[in-house]
Structure 1
Amino acid sequence: MGAGRIQTFSQNNIALFCPNQAASSTDFRNMRKNNLGGVIFGCTDSTIKECLFKQLFGLPASHISYVNNIDPGLPLFLFNYSDRKLHGIFESASSGRMNINPYGWTADGLGRTLYPAQVQIYPRLQCQALHEDQFKPIIIDNYYSQTHFWFELDHAQTNKLMSLLSSLAIAPSTSLPQNVAKWRNLFHDMPLAHKEERNEVNENDTDIGFYQLYKSNADVLLPASDAVPSLSCVGQPSEPQFKKRTVPEDKKEYILMKLKEMTLARENLYSSLKQSVEDTAIVNDVSMEQSSILKEREMSRKKAVPVSSSCYSDVIHQLMKNLEELEAFKGGQIRRTEQLEHKLVEAQTEIQQLKQQCTTLECRLDHCIEPVKEGMVVFPTEPCLDIDELIFLVGGYDGKTYSSSLNAYLPSQNKMKFLTPMSVVRSLASVAMLSGELYAFGGGNGSEWYNTAESYNPADNKWIPRPSLTGRPKGSLAGATLQNKIFAIGGGNGRESFSEVEMLDLDLGRWIMTQSMIEKRFALAAAELNGAIYAVGGSDGQSYLKSAERFDSREHSWTRIQSMNTERAFHALAVMNEKLYVLGGFDGNSMVSSVEIFDPRIGSWMTGEAMNVRRGYSAAAVLKESLYAIGGIIDGDTITDTVERYKEDSGWEVTHQGSLACRCFASAIVL
């Protein structure tokens, strides 16, 4: 359960730089499944015992992107943040997925886990733990800071780690036998002898090996060597000898009695399932664990403790019968859980549809806007509605889903109108206007970035495909229009920040690379003013920037201008009264409400009146001598639902607050 320095709203590589944490490029390498050689999981001194005892590793939900790529048999490793040591070698016993145990690593198992991206594991080889100084040279390419590294390993790194650990393998006789986990399951809850004595394991000595963390709960004593004892009909051990113990003569009847108690417990547990969905999930976990225990118990009994068929044939038959019943019960609960999850998805979809219907009904109250098919609205020819009164909001994220929506915001009425959505979900994209059409390009859907582009014509309320960017898929880029050409500026892909600039030439019908910026800029802002393009702030992947630069098409080059007073990224930029307004953003520690204004006539920045709400990842646009800031993130994953308006003579005021404005990662533009 490691925690990275970047919090993600996404499933994969759309990364947010968290407040109160230093900048970093990303938590993920975003490797394809066939390139993934192994995965490192994280833990601390307080969680390592539960990881190993339950044979379950977990990470925060944002890491599911590559945990999903884990198949059974993939090599795994466990890094302890407390002592900076790497344990191994493990292998995955299941595919990686969400919430294998939704209550893991919580107080008394009562709360929901903070580490739901999970995989079941099995120890492959017992080795001495590696200190960071030993394994760091092997995965040095994974380090994106002095103490933080990516958890995804390629095949070469995995092979080198396994080779180093194998050279430090611990002989089976050094500690507990290598099949100690199976022995624990074999005897757990099935006492074959009185609990007179036990082998003790030093749980604090993690350097001896991770197997030592499995405390034996066996009701008989483990042998002193790795030799496996065999039992005769009367229960007497052969060599090597156990310590003194007493074996009850009515062992068979005792086992059958315990099995009946277990069966009765399962029946009682089944009746409680009808109470709630949460109970279903809990019982499902229990039944899976018990089924696994019984399977391993029987396999271990056959391998480790050969018994006479004449003595225990009835017991084995009863065990197999109970095992079949448990498996059937488990299958029924899995199907029930899947049905409930499917109903939940359907309910969420229905809620979203109801929200859209409510919005459409609200739209019908406005006589200037007419409803059409699929709940969308178009702009009629009535003189009471003017396209110049609208701010267009493109894509974004509402805290639950990434959006392909296109909305028209009417500040004069504080209403949002639904238009034809884009062909794909886009967040952290960029927009620009050309020949009366709205162009959207780049961005992502929470799991991948795009290099695609499309344009919207308000006359027919339709989107059409446009030539894709020639460069790499990217997001958090900036866009601007200059001399009848659209410029796609900077951006990044979660691993790198780019300085590259592309230009869409409609005469050529394609994007072409043009002069790159002086600095790499991810999460920057850009705008055109008086025949020049200004690129401001952002992050170069290592730090946040307060620098700015200007592109002059006549000289076809970028030149530096005076820097802002504050480092910031994920901010908004708009042009009003021939001045640049920079709004909010993230300064490396927190979201800010500060505003800076650049006047190109004097070539310097001045401090403007701060917004009422601190925000980053917001959208901004200028309409009729008013500057609007819409939505954005206040802190962490809290999205604001406010709209603020600025006028030079009256300053900032909150003009709207409601769910329709609750979004981030969106783009805004006036046509």
Structure 2
Amino acid sequence: MENEACMPVIINAMKTLFDLNMDEPTNSVLMHQLTRPRLPSSILLAIGGWSGGNPTNEIEAYDVKADCWVSVTQEDEHPRAYHGTAVLDEFVYCIGGFDHMKYVNSVRKFSLITQTWHEVAPMYERRCYISVAVLDGLIYAIGGFDGQQRLKTVERYDPNTNQWTMMAPMNEQRSDASATSLQGRIYICGGFTGIECLFSAESFNPETNQWTLITPMSSRRSGVGVIAYADLVYAVGGFDGASRLRCGEAYNPLTNIWSDVASMYNPRSNFGIEVVNGQLFTVGGFNGFSTISDVECYDEKTDKW
């Protein structure tokens, strides 16, 4: 009542609420900015993947506050599965993968502003079951499967020059691994050599262009989800060679030690993982019998899913 700047805002809101409660439609009111749903501060995107026995071009967006998934599929986009995704500036990049016919080295970026797809420079190598991480404004494409062998090679994309550059290879061949960046390093964990599922994990220092093996995980994990969260590297789920996993563990770079964290409700491998609004989300994947749509979120403060 005492704030002159507040008064018109409150009065407008009251008028809008009154008009919305009246029976007769008032189109001008419905277009009013006060009657539009609020946009979420951040959204989670699930892009492509394996669905109904084939790669799909489906894209779904999740609003954390509304606890709601919405289809935002772009029909002109190609189906893609087992690819990597990265967010850089206002673009979402889809990197490598499998399009039902072939393993691809193509890279496409989606503008969140214009909602259009653009092809960018392809990678040097075809990479399905790829691991992707972003560090210092550059995208790293790591390992994968080229249709013949599991890869230990690594390449880096600079959006300013639209060019890929080959980097130092990893110590081990890895497809179905997962990577993240934390405190100036890239971490990649687990994966599959073509013969065995891996315990091992490595970190990459961009200043020296070197990969270093770190303490192995407690479980073999192929199709693992790896993400930086609460200053730790989390490795969740995956396949140990016998069964799909619910368990997870977290790596502390300062102590070089892995610690167990709470297990998910659902076992899963080859799924999506991301941190949104301070919580860690695991999305979809394969539970050993079928592709699933289940989504869970984890809070490190309570150590609960």
Which residue type is aligned with residue 437 of structure 1?
F
- Indicate yes or no: 2:105 matched with 1:478: no
1:461 aligned to which of 110, 115, 118: 115
In the TM superposition, residue 635 of structure 1 has moved relative to its aligned partner by 1.3
State the partner residue of 1:271: none
- 1:454-500 Cα deviation digits (max 9, x unpaired): 111111111111111122x2210011111211110000034310001
State the partner residue of 2:300: 648
- 1:216-240 Cα deviation digits (max 9, x unpaired): xxxxxxxxxxxxxxxxxxxxxxxxx
- Indicate yes or no: 2:146 matched with 1:490: no
In the TM superposition, residue 381 of structure 1 has moved relative to its aligned partner by 11
- Indicate yes or no: 2:38 matched with 1:388: no
| Aligned ranges 1:242-281 → 2 under 5 Å | none
CA distance in 2 between counterparts of 1:407 and 1:456 reads: 14
Which residue type is aligned with residue 501 of structure 1?
V
- Indicate yes or no: 2:177 matched with 1:524: yes
CA distance in 2 between counterparts of 1:523 and 1:395 reads: 16
Question: Is the contact made by 2:235 and 2:249 (CA closer than 8 Å) also made in structure 1?
Answer: yes
State the partner residue of 1:613: 266
Question: Is the contact made by 2:40 and 2:65 (CA closer than 8 Å) also made in structure 1?
Answer: no
CA distance in 2 between counterparts of 1:392 and 1:517 reads: 29
In the TM superposition, residue 399 of structure 1 has moved relative to its aligned partner by 2.8
In the TM superposition, residue 383 of structure 1 has moved relative to its aligned partner by 8.1
Gaps of 5+ in 1: 1-379, 654-671
Question: Is the contact made by 2:230 and 2:300 (CA closer than 8 Å) also made in structure 1?
Answer: no
CA distance in 2 between counterparts of 1:417 and 1:641 reads: 13
2:189 aligned to which of 536, 551, 566: 536
CA distance in 2 between counterparts of 1:494 and 1:566 reads: 27
CA distance in 1 between counterparts of 2:34 and 2:94 reads: 26
Moved over 4 A (4+): 380-384
Query: CA, structure 1 residues 468+608, in 2 after alignment: closer, same or farther (shift >3 Å)?
Result: same
Task: State, as a whole percentage, how many aligned pairs show the same letter.
Answer: 25
In the TM superposition, residue 431 of structure 1 has moved relative to its aligned partner by 0.8
* SS of residue in 2 equivalent to 1:597: strand
In the TM superposition, residue 420 of structure 1 has moved relative to its aligned partner by 4.5
CA distance in 2 between counterparts of 1:602 and 1:388 reads: 34
Question: Is the contact made by 2:237 and 2:269 (CA closer than 8 Å) also made in structure 1?
Answer: yes
State the partner residue of 1:400: 53
CA distance in 1 between counterparts of 2:69 and 2:266 reads: 21
Query: CA, structure 1 residues 432+460, in 2 after alignment: closer, same or farther (shift >3 Å)?
Result: same
Higher Cα Rg, which structure: 1
In the TM superposition, residue 435 of structure 1 has moved relative to its aligned partner by 1.7
Which residue type is aligned with residue 443 of structure 1?
G
| Aligned ranges 1:99-498 → 2 under 5 Å | 384-386=37-39, 388-421=41-74, 423-471=77-125, 473-498=126-151
State the partner residue of 2:216: 563
In the TM superposition, residue 387 of structure 1 has moved relative to its aligned partner by 5.2
Name the one with the larger helix percent. Answer: 1
Question: Is the contact made by 1:644 and 1:652 (CA closer than 8 Å) also made in structure 2?
Answer: no
In the TM superposition, residue 517 of structure 1 has moved relative to its aligned partner by 0.8
Q: Output the TM-score relative to the length of structure 2.
A: 0.84
State the partner residue of 1:573: 226
CA distance in 2 between counterparts of 1:503 and 1:385 reads: 37
CA distance in 2 between counterparts of 1:548 and 1:515 reads: 16
Query: CA, structure 1 residues 543+381, in 2 after alignment: closer, same or farther (shift >3 Å)?
Result: farther
Query: CA, structure 1 residues 508+649, in 2 after alignment: closer, same or farther (shift >3 Å)?
Result: closer
CA distance in 1 between counterparts of 2:115 and 2:104 reads: 23
CA distance in 2 between counterparts of 1:624 and 1:545 reads: 31
| Aligned ranges 1:32-51 → 2 under 5 Å | none
CA distance in 2 between counterparts of 1:606 and 1:444 reads: 34
Question: Is the contact made by 2:90 and 2:113 (CA closer than 8 Å) also made in structure 1?
Answer: no
- Indicate yes or no: 2:164 matched with 1:511: yes
* SS of residue in 1 equivalent to 2:281: strand
2:291 aligned to which of 614, 639, 643: 639
CA distance in 2 between counterparts of 1:532 and 1:624 reads: 23
Query: CA, structure 1 residues 410+481, in 2 after alignment: closer, same or farther (shift >3 Å)?
Result: same
In the TM superposition, residue 558 of structure 1 has moved relative to its aligned partner by 0.6
Aligned length: 272
Question: Is the contact made by 1:420 and 1:461 (CA closer than 8 Å) also made in structure 2?
Answer: no
Query: CA, structure 1 residues 603+509, in 2 after alignment: closer, same or farther (shift >3 Å)?
Result: same
Q: Output the TM-score relative to the length of structure 1.
A: 0.39
State the partner residue of 1:601: 254
Query: CA, structure 1 residues 468+598, in 2 after alignment: closer, same or farther (shift >3 Å)?
Result: same
| Aligned ranges 1:652-671 → 2 under 5 Å | 652-653=304-305
In the TM superposition, residue 414 of structure 1 has moved relative to its aligned partner by 2.8
In the TM superposition, residue 449 of structure 1 has moved relative to its aligned partner by 0.9
CA distance in 1 between counterparts of 2:213 and 2:37 reads: 45
